Structure 1
């Protein structure tokens, strides 16, 4: 009977029972005998981490001058001080001008040159827009060509769609106004519609940004913050956490991982993968036959801060050779997971081959925060069964159940 596969969780996991249930679900899905290795109680004190997170009501210092305080009075609208720089008005108006003239040239309307000397020309319209444009709050801060072009076309339609009956007060005389060319009603119409478009643009940006903001604050930011907290603890207390992993393996068989004759097999998520690589490449290594990581950062950490042990720093010219104590390595990553990194360009196995970087498909039900979604992905169960050579075709049909879901462990 083969030795079991040891499963090491990632950061922000404070639910031992939930983690055990997740491993049991993976075991059922893969047909591989698995042992959970829990170390979450040694992690960061993150139960009150929200005290350090900014809220939407947090006052922000104005970039205009020191000591000035700005508060967003309309929380559904993205505050303008979040825009890093204002595009050149001339560049914006070129786009608006081209779209406006294209629209005016394609239809009959009050701006046609043959409608009388008092009818505003495209040049006059653009002169008016140039005067009003800097006062817009949103349009003047966008460099989106499609949005600017649509604004130009919409402003042209305002005048083209006006009543064109010269006998009414809203006809050409009405557009020209009582005081002659340049002072007519068309300028007022244009100003009003420009302000309307500006408000609509701000509302649209605010609605989209509000949804992203909510996702970031409720899903992505807390998970990332807890990730950083446990990383800091691991960097300071690496030996204690390694000892916990070693103790759990010893409970099954003290000879496992002590030498090349009895290497262990490991599955590790997130920072658990960093722990596994650190232990497998230490001066006194945990001999590992096959390591499967998912959503892990071992390569990223080694580039930023060389891990030591038997590993040389990565200088960028050639991959770092892994010792024989790490036999095989399969590294899974999900396209939307911002905390997942590739391993094959940074490392080489002792036999000269690359670690296997393998993408797993994104599930739309995972949302934006996908770092915790691996436990329930069928592709992960299939990859584990294949890598550990203990699964069967049933792994394609079976899935980790809802027991594998926790309150966003990463």
Structure 2
């Protein structure tokens, strides 16, 4: 029986690798009891880390902006951060701030006032500001969707009148239009705080509203500004993108680690590479013939995607795989947004096989090594 060498993916460090490798070894023992399984752990030797203790992060060193600056504590900035995630978040929160029983005979009059906002949104000044902010194409439809939403209706009824909720509704209109424009542009709209506030202010001016602050009902639930937690957050999440960026810049070192791991074995070798490990393993085999490797199995990997966008360091788009690259099987879960098919890019050189991890993303990306279906498929492709 050959030896299986497992190359892990991005963001994995020792504790996580040990857990994953144990799961792989146990799973392979069920389908190939006599198979030797060897680790290729590179997280400590090659993985990214903040080598200067986070000195590049604002607020970490003396003389840089402090996360306690007033801008970081601005409640409106915190609010807009929430609205970028859910543009109706403030409306939904406002609907819970009920002042008391709403007289039934006032409901119709209160809701009719929402039409005032719709008309105000069509004023020349508001349209001019919306256009200047870059959200003019989506403005009218976005205002309609907010004004007719259940969240706006409930917020107005809870406040007692449109005058008690107009600032909330106005911000929702801007937030919805901003995200709609993102979708229209298939990217992120270039809009700054000044333009965003100018649209909301113009709309409130058209309504004759003077009160535009953030309600205490929302501030009570606003989390600490992200600026306060930037150092901790960067340290916690940088390993995943950091490993990818480091590979693209310094990948030869990781490929040497893989080659050395293979050469340390005896006999034929099957290389199993997950995620970034699959990319590096493929490029290792592109870079040099390693006759011991008889089969490459990539799992939830992005090699074909990088090739298609011409970002695979060792193989330019349009260039064929070298003849010395061994048999290649690519396993992917359709729910894994970090997994790609490879056969359309390398016809006749790779076989794609579907794995069902029975999990949504991101668990679909990390769940292969404990998935029973993964080992069912592995059993077939290793035959």
Q: Which residue of 2 aligns with 1:73?
A: 75
Where do residues 76-155 of structure 1 align in structure 2 (5 Å cutoff)? 77-79=79-81, 82=84, 126-127=115-116, 130-131=119-120, 143=142, 147-151=146-150, 154=153
Please, which runs of 5 or more residues in structure 2 have no aligned partner? 60-64, 88-103, 127-138, 174-213
Mapped partners of 1:206, 1:380: distance in 2: 47
Q: Structure 1 250/242 Cα, relative in aligned 2: closer, same or farther at 3 Å?
A: same
Q: Which residue of 1 aligns with 2:368?
A: 374
Q: Structure 1 251/237 Cα, relative in aligned 2: closer, same or farther at 3 Å?
A: same
Where do residues 220-239 of structure 1 align in structure 2 (5 Å cutoff)? 225-239=238-252
Please, which runs of 5 or more residues in structure 1 have no aligned partner? 62-67, 86-107, 113-119, 135-139, 159-187, 257-261, 390-410
TM, length-normalised to structure 2: 0.56
Where do residues 272-311 of structure 1 align in structure 2 (5 Å cutoff)? 272-285=277-290, 288-305=293-310, 307=312, 311=315
- Per the TM alignment, residue 298 of structure 1 is displaced from its structure 2 partner at its CA by 1.0
Q: Which residue of 1 aligns with 2:27?
A: 26
- Residue 336 (structure 2) pairs with residue 333 (structure 1): no
Question: Radius of gyration: which is bigger?
Answer: 1
**CA offsets per residue over residues 292-339 of structure 1, 9 Å max, x none?**
211212112323445466x4x324xxxx53334334332223345443
Mapped partners of 1:331, 1:41: distance in 2: 26
Mapped partners of 2:325, 2:382: distance in 1: 14
Instruction: State the superposition RMSD in angstroms.
Output: 5.3
Q: Which residue of 1 aligns with 2:163?
A: 191
**CA offsets per residue over residues 185-229 of structure 1, 9 Å max, x none?**
xxx84423656777999999999998xx9xxx9999877631332
Contact 1:155 1:194 (8 Å CA) reproduced: no
TM, length-normalised to structure 1: 0.53
Number of residue pairs the alignment of both structures matches: 295
Q: Which residue of 1 aligns with 2:352?
A: 356
Q: Structure 1 18/145 Cα, relative in aligned 2: closer, same or farther at 3 Å?
A: same
Mapped partners of 1:384, 1:233: distance in 2: 30
